[in-house]
Amino acid sequence: MGPLRPLLFLLLAASWSGALAQDPQFTQNFAAPLYLNPALTGNTYQDRLILNYRKQWPGIAPGYDTYAVSYDHRASTLNSGFGLMAVRDVAGSNDLAFTMIAANYSYEAHIDRKHGLRGGLRLGYTRREFDPSTVLFADQVIRDNAPTSIEPPLIEQVHYFDAAVGLVYFGERAWAGASFSHINRPQQSLVNGGNTRLAVRTSVHGGYRFPLDGLSMQKSRTVLTAAAHYKAQDKWDQFDVGAYVEHKQLTGGIWYRGLPALKAYKRGYPNNDAVAVMVGYETMNQFTFVYSYDVTVSTLTMASAGSHEISITYEWPVRKKARRYRVVPCPKF
C-alpha cells in the first residue's frame, strides 16, 4: 500500500459515513454552461458542442480527473433551448467515481429587445462507484492484512436520479444568475443501509462587459469582462472572481479562488485556494480553444502541481434569422 493510500482511504471513508461529498468543479465555469446553470442551455445563436477536461493535483498521484461533454440547441421560434450533457469524475487511488447523463431545457422570456429572463431545468441519471479491491480497513491491518473486515459491507455502485433548476437575468452588458443542483437530495451512500443524502449545491454568478476601444458593444474588438461565481454545498463554500480581455480572436484572463476575509473552516488554515491564469483562441471557423492552469496558494502548496484544464467549443455557422434577440453576454470560459 503506497504512502498516500491511507490518506485517500480516510477521505473515501469520510464520504461514506455521511460527511460532505463535494461536486467536481471547473475553473473555466462558463466553458461548461450546461453544468453551471441549466438556464444557459441554448445561450447561443447556433448549435454548440463543448468538450471539457480537468486534471487536478497531478502531484498527488493519481490526482483527480473530470471529463464533460455537452451539446445544446437554440430553438428561437419556441424561445427555448435544448441540451444533453455527460460528466464523469474519477478521484484518487480507490477510483471513487461518478458518471452523470442529463437532459437540459431552458425557456427565455423577453422583457424588451435588450433584456430578458431565462429559466432552466436539468434532469439527470447518476451512477456512483468505487473499486473495492483497493480498500483496506484498519481492523484488517491489525489482524495482519486479514481478507475481510468487521465493518459494514460496502456497495460497489449506487444509482439515482438527480434534478437541478436555474434562472438568469441579462442585458446588453450584464448578467446575473443562480442555480440549485440536487434539489431532490438523492441517496448516495456506498455503505449497505447507510443514509447519505447529497446536499443541494447553490451557485450564484454574474458579470459585466466593458468595451475598451471606445466603440459600442456590437462593434468593439477589445472587451474587458469582469465576472464572479459563488457556490456553496452543505458546510463548504467558495468564491471565484476574475476578469478577461478579449481582443479579436485572442483572450486572456485571471481568476482568484478563495474567501480570505471569512473565518477558515479549520483553525490555522486560511481560505485561500488558487490563482488561475488562462489563454484562449477562436479560429475563423468558430472553434474556441482555452487552456488554464491553477497555481495552488493553499496549504497544499505547489506540491500538488496545481491543476490543468482544457476546453474546446465548436459552434455551427451563424444563421441570420436567429438574431432577433440578444443572448446572455457571459464569456465563453
pLDDT tens per residue across all 333 residues of the chain: 343 343 343 334 333 333 345 788 899 999 999 999 999 999 988 899 999 999 987 877 777 899 999 999 999 889 999 999 999 999 876 678 889 999 999 999 988 888 999 999 999 999 998 876 666 666 556 656 666 665 666 788 899 999 999 999 999 899 999 999 999 999 988 877 778 899 999 999 999 999 988 887 778 889 999 999 999 998 888 899 999 999 989 999 999 998 766 655 555 455 677 899 999 999 988 899 999 999 988 766 667 788 999 999 999 865 655 455 678 887 777
Q: Is residue 289 part of a domain?
A: yes
Task: Using alpha carbons, select from 96, 99, 98, 106 the residue that is nearest to residue 85.
Answer: 99
Burial profile 201-212: b = 16 or more Cβ within 10 angstroms, e = fewer: bebebbbebebe
Q: Is residue 331 part of a domain?
A: no
Q: Is residue 329 part of a domain?
A: no
Alpha-carbon gap, residue 283 to 159, rounded angstroms? 40
Q: Is residue 332 part of a domain?
A: no
CATH number for position 51 = 2.40.160.40
DSSP string of 36-87, one letter each residue: H-GGGTT-SSS-EEEEEEEEE-TTSTT-EEEEEEEEEEEEGGGTEEEEEEEE
Q: Is residue 128 part of a domain?
A: yes
Tens digit of each residue's pLDDT (9 = 90 or more) over 23-64: 888 999 999 999 999 999 999 888 999 999 999 878 777 778
Q: pTM of the prediction?
A: 0.85
Amino acid sitting at position 240: D
- Distance set, CA 325 to CA 4, 44, 54, 80, 319 (Å): 53, 10, 34, 12, 13
Number of compact structural domains in the chain:
1
Q: Is residue 139 part of a domain?
A: yes
Q: Is residue 248 part of a domain?
A: yes
Range of the domain at 96: 5-322
Q: Is residue 330 part of a domain?
A: no
